[in-house]
Amino acid sequence: MTRIALAAYTPHRPQDALGHLTAWWTDRNPARRTPPGRPPVSHVEVVIDGMCHSSSLRDGGVRRKLIDLDRPHWRVIPITWRSPDAALKVFARHNGEPYAWGDLIAQHVLRLPIDFRGPTCSELCALMLGIPRAERIDPAWLTDYCESRRTTP
């Protein structure tokens, strides 16, 4: 049986400056704050059969790659409501698109409703998981949402 999960990354190295900044900035959103005891999240991946799917600033955009998720800075959350086939169809439509620098700045920094070409990591992952209004979603919100779906019947 094919497994699907969300992997959430917590920045942990000094050279993860952009990751630390992303986690800090998205946590400043007055609509949500990091729950006590939960580490900040700066990046997310959809994991299907061990392969990670996301849009990555470091890799230049939408891509699929093998990542060692068996480390303390990764949290893997099983997804039960979305089929891997449906998620992969969404990925195929976006594969190779550039990383959404414009969206990162416009939507997550300036909070403007502007949508540029290419997705951010959280936008692509939310789309793959069937979540509407994906352009407004940041990595921490998506992680919290998946955790809440995990604990509700």
Give the per-residue pLDDT at 21. 54
Q: State the Cα–Cα distance between residues 29 and 147, nearest whole angstrom.
A: 19
Give the per-residue pLDDT at 40. 76
- The pLDDT tens digits for 68-107 are 999 888 999 999 999 999 999 999 999 999 876 555 655 5
Residue 67 pLDDT exceeds 90: yes
- Please state, in angstroms and as integers, the Cα–Cα distance from residue 32 to each residue in 6, 95, 110, 119, 138, following that order: 20, 30, 16, 22, 11
Give the per-residue pLDDT at 101. 59
Confidence of residue 7 (pLDDT cuts 50, 70, 90): very high
- The pLDDT tens digits for 18-57 are 554 555 555 555 455 555 556 678 899 999 999 999 998 8
Q: Taking phi first (over 0 means left), then psi (-120 to 50 degrees means alpha), and beta for anything else, what does residue 118 get?
A: left
Least confidently predicted of 36-50, 59-73, 103-117, 127-141: 103-117
Partner residues linked to 47 by β-bridges: 5, 52
Instruction: Count how many domains the chain has.
Output: 1
Q: State the Cα–Cα distance between residues 130 and 114, nearest whole angstrom.
A: 21
Say what the pTM is.
0.80
User: The domain containing residue 9 runs over which residues?
Assistant: 4-151
Mean of pLDDT values over 138-148: 90
Helices (runs of H) and strands (runs of E) counted in the chain: 5, 5
Contacts of residue 108, Cβ cutoff 8 Å, sequence gap at least 6: 22, 25, 26, 120, 138
